[in-house]
Structure 1
Amino acid sequence: MHIQEDNQPFDDINVTPMLDLAYVLLVIFIIMTTASVQGVKVALPKSKMTASLAKAHIKAITISERGDMFLDAYPVTPEQLEERLLQLKRGNPGQAVVVKGDARAQYVKVMQVLEVLKKVDITEIGLVTSRAAS
């Protein structure tokens, strides 16, 4: 063990507290970036009649303006969507699904999703819209 005299300058720096701070900041950054991912933003079509679909374990299928499909926030192809919905249906026979289609999305993409839902026998389906101005 090396004993420092009072008049001698330190010749090494303890970087442990600085590394601890860097790790804490890294963890905070990771938590904040994953918490902000809540779904895919789409411009919903307007409707004067809206109903609340407040049910537990509802899965959201989103169709973007470009026609990309997402199950919750994860991109999927129609085949992957069918496979994942079958898995969900096995786990929960009364699985509810909402379809969030962008107002400018191609109608054929919405129909593809509805066909997949029919194929896997999911009957609890909701279409998400935003409230139109009166």
Structure 2
Amino acid sequence: MQLPPEEESRLTINIVPMIDVVFAVLAFFILSTLYLTRDEGLPVNLPTATTSESQEASLTLTITAEGDLFLGQQPVVLEALYDEVQALVPPGQSTMVTVRADAATPHGQVVAAMDRIRTIDGVRLGIATQQP
């Protein structure tokens, strides 16, 4: 019995699975870096302060120069501010609320918003400024 001659099989490297893995890792890093940015609220011209310190804020209240209020990115009216913040504060935990008021915002508007938030248990207030 005579066996047929064996063909020499060419060794090949299949790189398609490696490309799939590289693209999966690349997609992971791209998506994960999107969540590394802090939620700063809406763009406003912050007042300057030489003694400002960096703090971690879990909620951001932005007050524009016109006096409009935004909790995060959502608009809110002054009368509903207490209920909106209360709904976002976990019970029994301390939450930092940073007030980002434009430099041209009337002082009374900032005080009125802070007064509403101050009555919520477990809420600490901070005022956002920028270094000169």
Normalised by the size of structure 2, how large is the TM-score? Answer: 0.64
Deviation at 1:49, TM superposition (A): 0.8
Contact 1:62 1:71 in 2 (8 A): yes
Residues 86-95 or 46-55, more deviating: 86-95
Q: Give unpaired runs (5+ residues) of structure 2.
A: 1-38
**What SS does the corresponding residue of 2:118 show, helix, strand or coil?**
helix
How many residues align structurally?
A: 94
- When normalised by structure 1's length, the TM-score is 0.63
Aligned-partner Cα distance in 2 for 1:99–1:61:
5
**Greater radius of gyration (CA):** 2
Aligned partners of 2:63 and 2:70 also within 8 Å: yes
Deviation at 1:67, TM superposition (A): 0.3
Q: How far did residue 90 of structure 1 move? A: 4.3
| Alignment pair present for 1:49 and 2:42 | no
CA contact (8 A) 1:78 1:113 kept: yes
Structure 1 stretches lacking a partner, 5+ long: 1-36
Residue 131 of structure 2: aligned partner? 131
Compute the RMSD of aligned alpha carbons. Answer: 2.0
Change (3 A) 1:68 1:122: farther
Moved >3 Å (runs of 4+): none
